Chain A
Amino acid sequence: MFEYEFMTNAFAAAGIVAVVSGVVGYFLVMRGQTFAGHALSHIGFAGATGAGLIGLAPLWGLVGFTLAAGIVMGLLSERISNRDVAIGVVLSLALGFGLLFMHYYTSFATQAAALLFGNVLAVDHTMIATLAALGAVTLAALAAIMRPLIFASLQPELAEAKGVPLRFISTAFLAIVALAVSACAQIVGVLMVFTLMVGPAAAAQRLTKGLWSGLTLSAMLALAEAWLGIVIAYHTDWPVSFCIAALSAMVYFGALAMPRARPVHLHSHSH
């Protein structure tokens, strides 16, 4: 299996993306913002088709569009009482643009379908370097806002009283999610970003008590699912994204069957 360079490339790319997704996804689940993550991945699709239209690489359209949408969502979320409605409107607008961009394609738009399901078997060295850089920026930004983010997520009222800038933290976090989603979509596709960003994080949250042990388990689960998914795909010839998605769902349902480690659910940040 490792005699093939495309397989070692796949393991490297999936490894980078899985760790970033597991870590960022953990905060996403903790803050109860999974719908925002879902929306950002679909918004990225519009960005990617738009990039194709002006001759840019789809990845940069994905990054640009999700980043802009993440910031808009973050800014709106503190102002509008119903956060999900704002996200839904931004999401459908972006999907509409995606269709418009494809309408103006004068040549063949095969890249679009590849983006929907990802293709980890077609990763080259340039893509690995790009993903590594994207992952490093994402994790560094997360580390920079980690302390106030945890405080604002767990005890928003107290954090606000102590002068933590809630809207800035929330906006910065969604921008970080946007970067993680862009990387994740390269591997499992925009339709299945949840498999690496939400599945492992939700399972980890269920199985652990502490923040750090939860973060670690989330990253490890994502990594194990991604790599094992590739191994299974290699031997069964099923699509990689399916294998990762199936593992992610199995681990999550397995975790649900286990006794809950945490007496009180950490989900907070209600409006």
Chain B
Amino acid sequence: MQAFPTLLIASIVALGAVASAQAQAQKEPAKIAVVAAQNFYGDIARRIGGEHVNVISIMSNPDQDPHLFEATPSQVRDVADAQIVIHNGGHYDEWMEKLLKAAPRPKRVVINAAKIVNAKHGGNPHLWYAPATMPAVARSIAAAFSQADSAHAADYTQRLGETLADLDRVSKRVAEMRAKHAGKPVAATEPVFGLMADALGLTMRNQSFQRALMNETEPSARDIAAFESDLKTGKVKALIYNKQVSEKLADRLLSIARASKVPVVAVTETQPAGVTFHDWMLGELDALDKALTGPNS
């Protein structure tokens, strides 16, 4: 019992020494320190900032359930040190709003996507799935970079142009698919794709079921029954599901959909590793296009 506290204190001191050595090694001159709450915003920031910025994305693992998130001490430290913080806002990441208040920093620029696109209070929080969101956020990011580092403003403007051109491919694809599929009924296990479905003009069914699953409560018996009958009778043309959240009920609906030959489209809430934001969106749109043009539609 006597030896234990000494051991504990010794190990804490040792860890402290390691941590401060790391901190010193990381000090490099004059990169803009950027923290993005979610990796899709971080991806856009990295594209626009290039080698002039150092971007840390807090939520970047597409296999992690983003609804059950708790910041670790080092993540809070990153937020405290960041000159520019980008987050979704609108109740999606209230933890970030709390961290910004807990770790204040003078002259920090906060880019809140929900504020930029004027998102409706209490509406669908998955704003990056609305085709208009990312171009607006990209413009704000470029403006913030140019302000923080005017010497490289020309670089930021040029890369903003390239980024907007890529994002425009997504908007064009949406318009093209809307012309083809508008009005078709689809179902989803979660509202993550909801804003994109709206942009495509699809009719989204079973919305109260999706809300319950997102908030980890039980959907009502009536909601489940309606959902199952939609799938079994082929009332919906495709089932969209959030690959990132594993849920028994969602799994069951997937197997019903497969048995009833309703095409299933997997989407993710966080950007997968190794693809850019626009490729991620275009890939999901292609999969949906294929599902909606299948023999059952």
Chain A residues within CB distance 8 Å of chain B: 4-6, 9-10, 99, 102-103, 105-114, 117, 119, 121-124, 228, 231-240, 250, 254, 257-258
Contact = CB atoms under 8 A, between A and B. Distances in A.
A107 B91 contact: yes
The 4 closest A-B pairs by CB, nearest first: A122-B98, A6-B103, A124-B101, A235-B15
A117 B70 contact: yes
Interface stretch (B131-139, B174-182, B210-218, B231-239): B210-218
29 contacts: A4-B80, A4-B103, A5-B103, A6-B102, A10-B102, A102-B215, A103-B220, A105-B215, A109-B215, A110-B69, A110-B91, A110-B93, A110-B95, A112-B215, A113-B68, A113-B69, A114-B98, A119-B71, A121-B99, A121-B102, A124-B102, A231-B12, A232-B12, A235-B12, A235-B15, A235-B16, A235-B19, A236-B15, A238-B72
B201 interface: no
A232 B14 CA distance: 11
Interface of B: 1, 4, 8, 12, 15-16, 19, 67-74, 76-77, 80, 91-95, 98-99, 101-104, 122-123, 125, 211-212, 214-218, 220
Given A6-B80, A107-B125, A237 B218 contact: no
B95 A106 contact: no
Contact of B74 (A109, A112, A237): A237
Interface majority SS on A: helix, strand, loop or mixed? Answer: helix
Given A106-B211, A110-B94, A239-B72, A99 B1 contact: no
Contacts of B215: 102, 105, 108-109, 112
Contacts of B93: 110
Contacts of B220: 103
Nearest to A102: B217
A114 B94 CA distance: 10
A239 B72 CA distance: 6
B12 A119 contact: no
B104 A119 contact: no
Contacts of A112: 215-216
B217 A6 contact: no
A258 B4 CA distance: 14
Contacts, number: 104
Given A99-B217, A123-B102, A257 B125 contact: no
Contacts of B68: 113
Contacts of B8: 228
A94 to B, nearest CB: 15
Nearest to B93: A110
Nearest to A258: B1
A197 B211 CA distance: 36
- The residue among A122, A234, A238, A257 with the most chain B CB atoms within 10 A of its own CB is A122
Contacts of A117: 70
B218 A99 contact: yes
Contacts of A106: 122, 211
B70 A114 contact: yes
Contacts of B15: 235-236
Contacts of A233: 72-73
B176 to A, nearest CB: 31
A113 B94 contact: no
A232 B70 CA distance: 17
A9 B91 contact: no
A263 to B, nearest CB: 22
Contact of A254 (B1, B77, B217): B1
B99 A122 contact: yes
B102 A103 contact: no
B171 to A, nearest CB: 26
- The residue among B74, B80, B102 with the most chain A CB atoms within 10 A of its own CB is B102
A164 B90 CA distance: 53
A123 B100 CA distance: 10
A254 B5 CA distance: 11
A113 B69 CA distance: 8
A119 B103 contact: no
A138 B17 CA distance: 40
Contact of A121 (B16, B67, B73, B214): B73
Given A122-B102, A228-B8, A235-B16, 18 more contacts: A6-B76, A102-B215, A103-B212, A106-B122, A107-B123, A109-B215, A109-B217, A110-B93, A111-B94, A112-B216, A113-B67, A114-B95, A114-B98, A122-B95, A233-B73, A235-B12, A237-B73, A240-B73
Nearest to A254: B1
B91 A108 contact: yes
Contacts of B91: 107-108, 110
A119 B98 contact: yes
Nearest to A111: B94
Nearest to A241: B70
Given A121-B71, A237-B74, A103 B217 contact: yes
A250 B7 CA distance: 14
A98 to B, nearest CB: 9
